[in-house]
Structure 1
Amino acid sequence: MTDTTSTQPADTARASELGTVARFLKATELDTRMLGMIGALLLIWVGLHVISSLRLGVNPLDFDSRTFLTPRNLWNLSVQTSAVAIMASGMVLVIVMRNIDLSVGSAEGVIGMVMGFAQVHFLVRFVGLELGNPWIWVLALLIGLALGLLIGAFQGFVIAYLEVPAFIVTLGGLLVWRGAAWWVTSGQTVAPLDATFQLMGGGPAGSIGAKWSWVVGIVACLAVIFMHYNG
């Protein structure tokens, strides 16, 4: 009886503490699963930084230019993962419908190669447009959009009308489109590309420059906050 009574204040305090945390998470609408993934990502980054520092024989707190956590390397990661983030946004709709698309990365690869091939070979040699023509990057983007629609429509038709499981169709697409990306260019580098087209993929100063990138980011954050509290 004494043990039960003595544990009641501790249980009450623990419940109050958990209630505070729960109220904070509810008020801020933070997803604990997302926080867990972010924490795991930070642990991986710190681990890679420490390992690279130890292998080079430098102090991890010095942030040597050859280690992992450097501004240049984080910039590279941001640029390289931006395309993946855009594709992941589209994948949300697929997953919500209880399907999966394993071919999205390979499809992106072949579409990019076709757009590059169109600029260097097709539009220049066969259409007669010179490099630097303002129509080259527009036509290249239209070709990429059309090819993406065709790939998506074909795989969607097989899944929806022929009733082949999405896992099987997109797994096959992963291999087919990866091979197609190599076949289009024969494994060779595609260059030179239109200067305006290259801005679509960012660059050292981003597509619109450092200053306007910050402006757009701040405006977007303010818009999200405004819609959240007035929606």
Structure 2
Amino acid sequence: MAEASASGSTAGRKSFFQTLEFDTRLLGMIGAFIMVCVVFNVLTEGRFLTPRNIFNLTIQTVSVAIMATGMVFVIVTRHIDLSVGSLLATCSAMMAITQTQLLPNLGIDYGSPAMAPLAIIVGLATGALIGAFHGWLVGYLAIPAFIVTLGGLLVWRNVAWYLTSGQTIGPLDDTFQMLGGIGGTLGAGLSWVFALIAVAAAWLAINNARRARIRHEFPVKPVWAEAVLMGLSAALILGFVATLNAYQIPVRVLRRAFEARGEVMPDGYTQAYGLPFSVLLLIAVAVIMTLLARRTRLGRYIFATGGNPDAAELSGINTRLLTVKVFAIMGGLCGLAAVVASARLSFHSNDIGTLDELRVIAAAVIGGTALAGGLGTIYGAILGALIMQSLQSGMAMVGVDAPFQNIVVGAVLVLAVLIDILYRKRTGDA
């Protein structure tokens, strides 16, 4: 009787998750992330899950997560890009030189409203052009992407060094620095406004998806399942914003800000940081890349080519040009990540982006992107980047030295690939 009850309970749980149409791989990653957070929170005596550390963890994840979304497209098309960290350094160097040398020589001085936008355009253009060049070498000259980007790893790291003569360049423009994280945030009030808009957008997306299924006469989830999904999305968004709003600006920083304006800070005055601009940038990238993957012809071509390159070419897809486009997107995202990384540091340094290529590839693979091509998700790559950063941040807080941190990261990457192989064999996707 007990056995029958247990089997019935298990069947109920399965039907519940199947009804909600949850991705089992996503559930596994979320479970792993929760486990990492709980373990490190215990080891750090509650310091890991404080609003301050979550805020810092979030802004530290952004640059790698942005590049990981592009790496999904690269790996899906059965290529690899080992040059992203070095390309980030070159884009950062170009933007730093633009702000400190090129624009001042043109009469656009430090603090000018045009300085930050022009520098960002230079960085994005640099990344996209170099990425397109890599794609041309791979697509039209048939040089393996591994070799092209391995060469790029060496070339662009040292090009960045020569551009700056090996010097640290800074400080960067104040407006530019606002995209780095703690220097530019929405504040508590606007963060709550953004949260409500995000909740409404999530609910609208769920409702539109249901209507589309009905319109095309596809099976739909029960109303209660849709309500559960809406409730979960609202809880995640509002909980995340509430956590960031709980991180208060230090009193000494507020006092200096009031003194700079010639005012006296009222007794008991507090102010929260709220959502960083860099996180908003990551959210925008995630939405755009997801729409690109799911709703555009380019996205369909990318996944079709990754699934079967020969069949894709025979069906009329220009796989050579597609390769150029994919690597150009990757390069542009490296430029965007360079904006966030250099703005967070407030200067360009020679070691910026070091080992980021490994972190980005690991984030995409841990997030479920198949090295064999054809499968991958944007949200999975971002979650993979968050898991990687959580591991490194947690180990640093515990006091683990850097060499052992890299050992753990390497072991986790190999384990993630093994789990991916076993999962695909079990589900028949291999």
Please confirm whether the aligned pair reaches a TM-score higher than 0.5, indicating the same fold.
yes
1:225 corresponds in structure 2 to 203
CA deviation map 1:158-206 (0-9, x unaligned): 1101112222222322332233333333443321222221222332552
Identity %: 47
Distance in 2 between the 1:49 and 1:179 partners? Answer: 40
Matching residue's letter, 1:218: L
Partner SS for 1:35:
helix
2:161 corresponds in structure 1 to 182
Name whichever of 19-28 and 42-51 sits farther off. 42-51
Q: Quote how far apart the aligned CAs of 1:15 are.
A: 4.5
Are 1:23 and 2:1 an aligned pair?
Answer: no
Matching residue's letter, 1:144: G
Q: Quote how far apart the aligned CAs of 1:14 are.
A: 4.8
Partner SS for 2:171:
coil
TM-score, length basis structure 2? 0.44
Decide whether aligned partners of structure 1 residues 182 and 20 sit closer, same or farther in structure 2, where only a CA change above 3 A counts. farther
TM-score, length basis structure 1? 0.77
Distance in 1 between the 2:122 and 2:114 partners? Answer: 12
Partner SS for 2:114:
helix
Are 1:93 and 2:85 an aligned pair?
Answer: no
- What are the residue-to-residue correspondences of 1:117-196 with 2, within 5 Å? 117-124=97-104, 126-196=105-175
CA deviation map 1:75-131 (0-9, x unaligned): 11100111222222222222322222222233223212221221012211x322211
Distance in 2 between the 1:211 and 1:109 partners? Answer: 35
Partner SS for 1:134:
coil
Distance in 1 between the 2:72 and 2:182 partners? Answer: 27
Decide whether aligned partners of structure 1 residues 40 and 16 sit closer, same or farther in structure 2, where only a CA change above 3 A counts. same
Are 1:213 and 2:213 an aligned pair?
Answer: no
Are 1:35 and 2:27 an aligned pair?
Answer: yes
8 Å Cα contact 2:178/2:184 also seen in 1:
no
Distance in 2 between the 1:185 and 1:210 partners? Answer: 39
Decide whether aligned partners of structure 1 residues 191 and 210 sit closer, same or farther in structure 2, where only a CA change above 3 A counts. farther
Q: Tell me which of the two structures has the higher relative contact order, counting C-alpha pairs closer than 8 angstroms and 6 or more residues apart.
A: 2
Decide whether aligned partners of structure 1 residues 24 and 204 sit closer, same or farther in structure 2, where only a CA change above 3 A counts. farther
Correspondence for 1:106 among 67, 86, 110: 86
CA deviation map 1:53-72 (0-9, x unaligned): 4xxxxxx2xx3xxx544332
CA deviation map 1:21-55 (0-9, x unaligned): 2222233332222222233233334444444x4xx
Partner SS for 1:101:
coil
Distance in 1 between the 2:78 and 2:9 partners? Answer: 37
Q: Which runs of 5+ in 1 are unaligned?
A: 1-5, 54-59
Name whichever of 148-157 and 166-175 sits farther off. 166-175
Distance in 1 between the 2:206 and 2:41 partners? Answer: 37
Q: Which runs of 5+ in 2 are unaligned?
A: 210-430
8 Å Cα contact 2:99/2:115 also seen in 1:
yes
Decide whether aligned partners of structure 1 residues 205 and 123 sit closer, same or farther in structure 2, where only a CA change above 3 A counts. closer
Distance in 1 between the 2:160 and 2:41 partners? Answer: 34
* Structure 1 stretches of 4+ moved >4 Å: 12-15
Partner SS for 1:129:
coil
Partner SS for 2:177:
helix
Partner SS for 1:200:
helix
Matching residue's letter, 1:223: A
Structure possessing the higher radius of gyration over alpha carbons: 1
Partner SS for 1:139:
helix
Decide whether aligned partners of structure 1 residues 36 and 157 sit closer, same or farther in structure 2, where only a CA change above 3 A counts. same
Q: Quote how far apart the aligned CAs of 1:149 are.
A: 1.3
Distance in 2 between the 1:144 and 1:91 partners? Answer: 18
8 Å Cα contact 2:177/2:184 also seen in 1:
no
Distance in 2 between the 1:209 and 1:113 partners? Answer: 31
Name the count of aligned residue pairs: 209
